[in-house]
Amino acid sequence: MFLRHLMCKRLGMYKRKKYNHKYKSNSEYNCSCILRKNKVSFKYENLNLNYKWEESKRYIPDFILENGIILEVKGRFVLDDRKKHLFIRSQHPHYDIRFVFDNPNRKLYKNGKMTYADWCDKYDFKYCKLGDGIPEDWLQTNGKRSEIYTRRRSTKG
């Protein structure tokens, strides 16, 4: 039984409990009851605060073309990858990172509407479908090698 529990937990087979209230947990519900009991006015999850989550990470591009274009090849395009590329772009806007997807029409989420291609369009990343080949204009060089192409791989961040 314990091994089954660990396996289910690891595979994400447990779903969030359904409650007979609008709160995400019984603890939140209990807190709301205390606030009501004490006649305290409150709003529940009524505020969105943007914040920046930064960690010291390192990105190693899949392919750097002679013309300086970076190709990132993706079969699956998970949330952590999407966040990573938004962080990279905000901190290194001079790099031209483009995606090569197995299937750009795959949904980001199982029952969602947005596809990998939609996400790229939304955030202005160029992309292509691997099965259709890499666009010719991505492969062309102007006769000289870019600085990023000639740079040796660095061991420092």
pLDDT in tens, 100-156: 999 999 999 999 999 999 999 999 999 999 989 899 898 887 777 777 777 766 555
Rounded to whole angstroms, the Cα distance separating 23 from 135 reads 49
| Contact by Cβ (8 Å): 103, 132 | no
The reported pTM is 0.66
Task: Identify whether residues 25 and 102 lie together within a single domain.
Answer: no
Give the CA angle between residues 93, 95, 97 to the nearest 5°: 105
Query: Measured between alpha carbons, how far is 59 from 28 in angstroms, rounded to an integer?
Result: 39
Question: Is 132 inside a domain boundary?
Answer: yes
pLDDT in tens, 55-94: 788 888 898 888 888 999 999 999 999 999 999 999 899 9
- Overall domain count for the chain: 2
Q: Check whether residue 33 and residue 71 sit in a common domain.
A: no
Domain containing 96: what range?
Answer: 63-150
Say if residue 134 is in the same domain as residue 92.
yes
**Do 30 and 72 share a domain, yes or no?**
no
Q: Is residue 51 part of a domain?
A: no
Query: Taking a C-beta distance cutoff of 8 angstroms, is the pair 72, 99 a contact?
Result: yes
Hey, is 131 helix, strand or coil?
Answer: helix
Is the residue at 105 inside a domain?
yes
